[in-house]
């Protein structure tokens, strides 16, 4: 669009504003034309329509900067008029010019796409002239914002697709390396010397860390693009946590931490995605082991229609002011003395839990008699049982 008329300060040399007056009453048309002329006839290039149908045809035919729109026309009336014109010309500013002074209706007109709402017998040439310039400017800003938003959405979609493809392509060769290190470490391909074993173990550790990071990125990109899904089945959560605690016991032991499972029930059947829930509790327990001083406990409590799992540790705890932030992607607390994580673990935990219709939160480990001060973190997961 060219610069509209002038800026109201008398500067010249700018293109006239292309105005479409949509009004069926001759007297009102004359009044509008009078006001536009009084504001400065050279500033406006005015065309006319008497119906919404006629206006739509005009808008399709010629470029227009602003529509001055009456709300009671022969083929349409009320706020639907605004909507129809906004649909017919999405990039054109609309100033409603009506006889009805109703604030609610004016607000609704703005929500449906108008940029201003003037009352006919209260408008004068100056008010109308300025309203036209402001409405065009508002529309221009709105258009720019929408375009920027669309560019952002597109960039985000492309980033998700790129991440998804790259993660896939990176993961396959890493998985092959894991198979090879497994073969070497199990001795199937011949016995390794002590030095050779150490090197292969180092390769194995690093490549597994890499696979985990790539899988986290893939999960995250699927969650953000809405393509993440869970495979529901019925399984015993107690058995699953027992296995996990046994598997992680040696990692905990190597740090001088003991790991317990507390559960009063023999079995706790739930409906969920077993692999994904193992991923959730692995993440929570690995975090807890990393921060614990001496012990970590996992407590499983069926409670009515849901089951609650607490993972407690006796480490420094999670300060109240970051208890929500720890679930944000790439968030890492300051106390990272132990190792370099990526800060994706808890984001993915929350994503998986909410795919099960559940919740997860961080808090203080409950006080125990003999504790001098509250310390330690508690992460609690609650999921519906649905068995």
Provide the β-strand partners of residue 308. 301, 382
Total residues in contact with Mg ion, by rule CB under 5 A? 2
Contacting ligand ATP (CB under 6 A), which of 76, 96, 298, 377?
377
> ∠ CA(209), CA(215), CA(217), 5° rounding?
105
| DSSP secondary structure letter of residue 23 | -
The yes or no reply on residue 343 touching ligand ATP (CB under 6 A) is yes
Cα separation, 109 vs 112, whole angstroms:
5
- Let me know: does 94 contact 65? Beta carbons within 8 Å: no
The terminus-to-terminus CA distance of the chain in angstroms comes to 62
Q: Record the tokens describing residue 80, joined without a space.
A: 């639907």
Q: Which one of ligand ATP, Mg ion, none interacts with residue 315, CB within 5 to 8 A by kind?
A: ligand ATP
Map residues 346-365 to x or -, x wherever contact with ligand ATP holds by CB under 6 A: x-------------------
The yes or no reply on residue 332 touching ligand ATP (CB under 6 A) is yes
**Within 13 Å, how many C-alpha atoms sit on residue 252's CB side?**
24
The yes or no reply on residue 287 touching Mg ion (CB under 5 A) is yes
Q: Which one of ligand ATP, Mg ion, none interacts with residue 361, CB within 5 to 8 A by kind?
A: none
* Residues contacting 120, CB < 8 A, separation 6+: 28, 31, 97, 98, 99
Between 91 and 316, name the residue whose CB sits nearer to ligand ATP: 316
- Closest distance of CB 185 from ligand ATP, Å: 24
Between 330 and 367, name the residue whose CB sits nearer to Mg ion: 330
Q: Which one of ligand ATP, Mg ion, none interacts with residue 174, CB within 5 to 8 A by kind?
A: none
Q: Which one of ligand ATP, Mg ion, none interacts with residue 326, CB within 5 to 8 A by kind?
A: ligand ATP
Q: Which of residues 261-300 bind ligand ATP (CB under 6 A)?
A: 283, 287-288, 291
Q: Record the tokens describing residue 45, joined without a space.
A: 């290039």
Between 98 and 279, name the residue whose CB sits nearer to ligand ATP: 279
Alpha-carbon torsion angle 99, 101, 105, 111, nearest 10: 90
Cα separation, 134 vs 119, whole angstroms:
16
The yes or no reply on residue 331 touching ligand ATP (CB under 6 A) is yes
Q: CA-based diameter of the chain, in Å?
A: 102
- Closest distance of CB 343 from ligand ATP, Å: 4
The yes or no reply on residue 54 touching ligand ATP (CB under 6 A) is no
- Which candidate, 327, 332, 378, 387, places its Cα nearest to that of 353? 327
Q: List residues binding ligand ATP (CB under 6 A).
A: 283, 287-288, 291, 313, 315-316, 318, 326, 331-333, 341-346, 377
Q: List residues binding Mg ion (CB under 5 A).
A: 287, 345
């Amino acid at each position: 669009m060219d610069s509209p008329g002038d800026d109201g300060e008398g500067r010249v040399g700018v293109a006239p504003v292309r105005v479409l007056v949509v009004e069926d009453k001759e007297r009102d048309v004359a009044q509008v034309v009078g006001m536009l002329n009084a504001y400065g006839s050279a500033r406006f290039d005015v065309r006319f329509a008497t119906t919404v149908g006629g206006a739509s045809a005009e808008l399709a035919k010629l470029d227009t900067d602003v529509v001055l729109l009456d709300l009671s026309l022969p083929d349409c009336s009320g706020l639907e008029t605004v909507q129809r014109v906004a649909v017919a010309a999405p990039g054109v500013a609309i100033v409603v010019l009506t006889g009805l002074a109703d604030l609610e209706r004016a607000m609704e007109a703005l929500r449906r796409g108008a940029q201003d709402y003037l009352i006919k017998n209260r408008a004068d040439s100056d008010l109308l002239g300025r309203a036209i310039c402001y409405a065009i400017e508002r529309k221009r800003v709105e258009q720019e914002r929408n375009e920027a938003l669309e560019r952002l959405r597109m960039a985000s979609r492309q980033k998700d697709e790129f991440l998804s493809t790259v993660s896939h392509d990176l993961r396959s060769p890493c998985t092959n390396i894991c198979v090879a290190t497994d073969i070497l470490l199990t001795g199937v391909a011949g016995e390794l010397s002590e030095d050779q074993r150490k090197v292969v173990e180092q390769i194995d550790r690093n490549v597994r860390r890499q696979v985990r990071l790539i899988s986290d990125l893939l999960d995250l990109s699927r969650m953000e693009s809405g393509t993440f899904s869970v495979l529901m089945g019925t399984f015993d959560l107690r058995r699953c946590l027992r296995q996990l605690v046994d598997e992680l016991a040696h990692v905990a032991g190597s740090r001088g931490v003991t790991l317990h499972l507390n559960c009063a029930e023999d079995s706790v059947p739930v409906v969920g995605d077993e692999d994904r829930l193992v991923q959730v509790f692995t993440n929570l327990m690995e975090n807890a082991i990393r921060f614990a001083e001496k012990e970590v406990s996992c407590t499983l409590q069926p409670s009515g229609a849901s089951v609650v799992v607490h993972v407690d540790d006796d480490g420094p705890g999670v300060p109240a002011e970051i208890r929500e932030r720890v679930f944000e992607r790439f968030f890492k607390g300051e106390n990272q003395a132990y190792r370099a994580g990526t800060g994706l673990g808890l984001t993915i935990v929350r994503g998986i839990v909410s795919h099960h219709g559940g919740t997860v939160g961080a808090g203080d480990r409950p006080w125990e008699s003999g504790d001098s001060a509250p310390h330690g973190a508690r992460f609690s997961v609650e999921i519906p049982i649905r068995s």
